[in-house]
Amino acid sequence: MEYIKRYDNGLRLVVKPAESLSVAAGIFVNVGSGDETKEQNGISHFAEHMLFKGTKTRSPFEITDSIERIGAQINAYTSKECTCYYTKSTVDHTEETLEILSDIFFNSTFRPEEIERERGVVLEEIAMTEDTPDDLCMELIGKSYFGAHPLGYTILGEADTVANFSRDSVLNHTDNYYNSANTAIVMAGRITFEDAQKFTEKYFLKNFKKSGKPCIKPKAHVSKTNFIYRAKDIEQANICLAFPYVQFDDADTDAYSLLNSILGGTMSSRLFQKIREELGLAYSVHSFPASYVNNGLLTIFAGVNYENLETTIENILNEIEVFKNKGVTKDEFLRAKEQSRSSLIFGQENMSSVMNAYGKYLILTDKLFSIDNKYENIGKLDYDKVNGLCSEMLELQKLCVSFVGKEEYAQKLKNLVNKFCLQ
């Protein structure tokens, strides 16, 4: 059973009690890189870093020391559509971790010297991505697919935008988005709904300066064929192929998730078995979906030797054609259904995963997630309906590509992809 409490100022509390030895708690803010302007790209991530750099009563060291001396964990992440600050602790230290979360969320000081120090850290993080070809390729596919749409911006931001963030711009960002109507508190684990309400009202509810308004997400993006590459003198070609996919919480999300699992989401998938196991062309090949409010894309990634580049792409595109034209077998459907349901069950053993599932769903839909309902809905999926969706996926006429590798192979890859797209 899960619970939700909606307060008069717009703050929401979600609690998922569970038989566990721990409690995971998170503050979810409805803002990410997909809500930024081009000039402010990366500021959500930068603000996330700054909340750990000192409060009115704690230094940066004292924040982490306060957590670690009670054996707890604290961290944060920024995505395209939300920012989350979270802790995990044993049951007896739940209230202490919530007090620390509250302190960094409401009392961070954003000292100028800490901003300058952290600016250097984030610039190093951006440089690290440039030196990690597969990560870079996956960042570029967002730019290739979304173009000038905000979802095409990187989460970390560009070096030139991060270099220009001022203290005022970071404070303006948190003032605009860190309001009660744009925030949710989520807890999962061995905690009662009554205790969760007590802690929320003690450490969060009355500390918001204003109720504000929820963040309005960007409109739907209509993709068109595009090719982006970054020249790198490296030993392996990194390729991403992206196609339109369903938006977050679409009625057919579970059906499309099964189809992705069959196509390239698991070790038994068609792409893995064909490209790696049968042909031995690549160590890494897989597909993965990304669904956002109003938008979505499905990406296929492969890292291959240059001599195998053309053969690999041809076989991937051939598998796509077979998938679209002939659909999936009943056995593949049943296997994917069992994989999906067992994944839900396994996920319930990790309180941080449970907390994230409930938090993300609430912050993006304003609805209460239910693991039990999702499990039931997957079980009700019909083979004929799911199989019928194959022809609607993977539109080659809207294929977007990113490539990281030696420049002389970029044009060859582009010509090869164009040949398939124009058929």
Above 80 in pLDDT, residue 32? yes
Mean pLDDT of the chain: 95
Q: Which residues pair with 263 in a beta bridge?
A: none
Task: Give which of 76, 50, 74 is closest to 64, Cα–Cα.
Answer: 74
Give residue 423's pLDDT band: very low, low, confident or very high (50, 70, 90).
Answer: low
User: pLDDT tens for residues 126-165?
Assistant: 999 999 999 999 999 999 999 999 999 999 999 999 999 9
User: pLDDT tens for residues 168-211?
Assistant: 999 999 999 999 999 999 999 999 999 999 999 999 999 998 88
What pLDDT score does 148 carry?
A: 92
User: pLDDT tens for residues 284-302?
Assistant: 999 999 999 999 999 999 9
What pLDDT score does 422 carry?
A: 53
Q: Which domains does the chain have, with CATH numbers?
A: 3-207 (3.30.830.10), 226-421 (3.30.830.10)
As a three-state string, the secondary structure of the chain is CCEEEECCCCCEEEEEECCCCEEEEEEEECCCHHHCCCCCCCHHHHHHHHCCCCECCCCHHHHHHHHHCCCCEEEEEECCCCEEEEEEEEHHHHHHHHHHHHHHHHHECCCHHHHHHHHHHHHHHHHHHHCCHHHHHHHHHHHHHHCCCHHHCCCCCCHHHHHCCCHHHHHHHHHHHCCHHHEEEEEEECCCHHHHHHHHHHHCHHHCCCCCCCCCCCCCCCCCCEEEEEECCCCCEEEEEEEECCCCCCCCHHHHHHHHHHHHHCCCCHHHHHHHHHCCCEEEEEEEEEEECCEEEEEEEEEECHHHHHHHHHHHHHHHHHHHHHCCCHHHHHHHHHHHHHHHHHHCCCHHHHHHHHHHHHHHHCCCCCHHHHHHHHHCCCHHHHHHCHHHCCCHHHCEEEEEECHHHHHHHHHHHHHHHCC
Residue numbers annotated as active site: 48
